[in-house]
């Protein structure tokens, strides 16, 4: 199962009762961008990961590694389907 970083962010936000609007205000990113991440349409950018660290106290590296793992799993899935 391939899990997008937005799914993890969604869980953290739910656990901490953080709204999209509140996260947008505290990170300086738009609600549209955050919703795109939460809906698995955008990856978490390095700058957003830094803002998440500041806001949620979850390391930037955690978010960036989630992106790396997700992208690697997608590539592996695509390669396996081409065979």
Q: What CATH number was assigned to the domain covering residues 5-82? A: 1.10.260.40
DSSP structural state of residue 39: T
Residue 37 structure tokens: 């991440």
pTM of the predicted protein model:
0.91
Alpha-carbon distance values, 79 to 18, 32, 40, 75, 83 (Å): 37, 31, 21, 6, 7
Q: What are phi and psi of 3, to 5 degrees?
A: -115, 120
- 61 backbone φψ class: left, alpha, beta (φ>0; ψ -120 to 50): alpha
pLDDT above 80 (res 28): yes
pLDDT tens digits, residue range 29-75? 999 999 999 999 999 999 999 999 999 999 999 999 999 999 999 99
């Amino acid at each position: 199962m391939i899990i997008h970083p937005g799914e993890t962010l969604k869980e953290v936000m739910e656990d901490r009762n953080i709204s999209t609007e509140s996260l947008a205000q505290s990170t300086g990113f738009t609600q549209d961008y955050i919703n795109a991440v939460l809906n698995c349409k955008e990856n978490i950018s390095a700058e957003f990961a830094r803002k998440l660290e500041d806001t949620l106290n979850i390391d930037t590296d955690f978010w960036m590694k989630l992106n790396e793992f997700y992208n690697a799993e997608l590539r592996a899935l695509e390669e396996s389907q081409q065979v």
